[in-house]
Amino acid sequence: MYKGVDADYYGYRDDDDGTLQVLERLQEEQAKLEVLEAWKIREIETNTMDLKDAAKAKRKVEQIITDFEKPQEAEFVSHVRVPQKEDLERVVLEKRKKKLLEKYVTQNLAKLQK
């Protein structure tokens, strides 16, 4: 009896043919639209009570939706100073000079230069 039971029996490979993905995507879009419409109606009713004008309430809700759907500009703020290329080159050059001076300059010559 258990020889015929495999992953297909338990439904593990239902989405291999690609039909479920299309159906799920359509169902998800439909659910999003339904929730959005329910939210619009609820917001218009709430704003109508506040604004005493249905047209103003509807415009306000539409403005909220358009503001929400706009792509948000993510502004990056660095709290730490990021060194520029010139700064890094200057630091590397100073380190190289220091190593060369330590290698080739004697103690007496170093004292004379100071």
Residue 81: the pLDDT is 85
CA distance 49 to 62: 17
The number of folded domains in the chain is: 1
Using CA atoms, how far residue 88 sits from 77, 100, 105, in Å, is: 21, 19, 25
Q: Give 85-108 pLDDT, tens digit per residue.
A: 999 999 999 999 999 888 887 777
Domain span holding position 34: 2-113
Q: What is the three-class DSSP state of 8?
A: helix
Which residues of the chain have a pLDDT value below 50?
A: none
Residue 85: the pLDDT is 93
Residue 110: the pLDDT is 65
